[in-house]
Amino acid sequence: MIFNSLEFLIFYPMVLLLYFTLPKKYRWMMLLAASAFFYLYWSVKLIFLILFTIVISYTAAILIEKYKDNLVLKRTCLVVTLVACFGVLFFFKYFNFLADSVVSVANLFGAGWDDFSLNLILPVGISFYTFQTLSFVIDVYRGNVPAERHFGYYALYVTFFPQLVAGPIERPENLIPQLHADHDFSWDNAIPGLRKMIIGFFKKVVVADLIATYVNAVYNSPDTARGLSVLIATMLFAVQIYCDFAGYTDIAIGCAQIMGIKLMQNFDRPYISTSIKEFWRRWHISLSSWFMDYLYFPLGGSRCSRPRHLFNLCVVFLVSGLWHGAAWTFVIWGALHAFYQVVGILLKKPKAQLYAKLGIDESAPWVQTMRRVITFILVDFAWIFFRANSFSDLAKLMKRLFTDWEFTYAYIADSFAAMDLTVVAVGIILAAIFIMNRMDITDLTPAPSDGTPEDRSAVASIRYTYLIWIIAVAWLLLLIGDGASSFIYFQF
């Protein structure tokens, strides 16, 4: 089940009704059943895989806490969990990638190997819930959190439907206590939660799905693309992937907040970043912080020699690229961001010295603007590797981008025609991006803090009515037309 579907429009109000009418002692059962139904809507077989991950991690955490003085047993339980969870993730997500790579390399040397890849279906959300279970076991091992003894609540922590499929990747110390708490209906939760959902639906349905048509026209047909159309499509993809993924997490956060549960923030206007380092503090925050806590710091972080520090960064970004997808294009995307980071660190001191010699104030608005533009260009260029369907498509797109340029009216017309992009469509896209940007800047104007809850609700409903209509109309048109589109990060 996906958020932008008619099924969810029916499912979610029913869950809310049951959640706030059932006694507290039955709520976890209902939420667990609802989460299972939400996930099984894709395939009934998927329940066995996620249940295996839950059972292994739950048992390991209980044993680690119970025998906390037995270092050998603790480490054994941790290793078993890592092997089991990463083993499942590797098999379903990376086995065919590795098999294809091995066969390709072997055949380059005349081995004549046959393809031995398997007909596997990537389970939805496997990368997200695997990391969530691992963070629980690792934190129990470190003594940061107690093991959750109630199997039902732990299963709910892993499968909580708003963030199950595409995050944010929650931590046990944040989510588990909230699942245990008794949440009554509150307008102070319902209004901002609904507001967050509206913003998410606007990003996904109105902006991302609108832009996707023009991006796909170029990236799915690289042979007919022109240099200008590749440039425009890549810039539009930067907006599309942000609105698609941030839209999902906004809806997830809003869904949970209405129930009184606060999920972590996952995006913070990443495209205003003045450096690649800042970009990764603002983009997919739950994943970035996960890699920092469970990979970067254990490797030594920055508290080591300069070469080791740079090596640690490279490892994190290479793993991050591979996490996003089982293809070499994703690995290169991660490597490119690692290269950006390494160059940024190496040039930090010389750049500061140059600014000092030239008398340039780094905090000056024009300097910050220039740095934002450069950062966006670097990030946007890397998105080409992320979006390209294959290496052959990537080569064609790169060739077009750097060689296929003319400064004639006919060339510009052909470039726009290749994308089926009209002047009216450009205007609609720019208007949608402008509205989305204003939403991010203000997160919409909050309802007044004074007055009764009913007064705040009435004022808020007036302010957001026009946005609700925008979402409703766009949603209905989508359902009547091609149907609800999936979210990009579901494939990860």
Tokens of 427: 């205007």
Token pair listed for 180: 């245990």
Provide the 3-class DSSP secondary structure of residue 208.
Answer: helix
Tell me which DSSP letter residue 94 carries. Answer: I
183 is a catalytic site residue: no
Q: What is the 3-state secondary structure (H, E, C) of 445-465?
A: CCCCCCCCHHHHHHHHHHHHH
- Report d(CA 477, CA 484) in Å as an integer: 10
How far is the C-alpha of 125 from the C-alpha of 12, rounded, in Å?
Answer: 19
Q: What is the DSSP string of 350-367?
A: HHHHHHHHHT--TTSHHH
Half-sphere exposure of 489 (CA within 13 A, CB side): 25
Which CA distances in Å does 418 have to 210, 228, 414, 426? 16, 10, 6, 14
Give CA 315 to chain center in angstroms: 20
User: Pick the catalytic residue: 284, 309, 324, 337?
Assistant: 324
> Token pair for residue 244?
């698609």
251 and 245 Cβ atoms separated by less than 8 Å: no
Measured CA to CA, the distance from residue 179 to residue 167 in angstroms comes to 16
DSSP code, position 272 = G
Residue in the block written with tokens 């509150």 = 186
Q: Which residues are catalytic?
A: 324
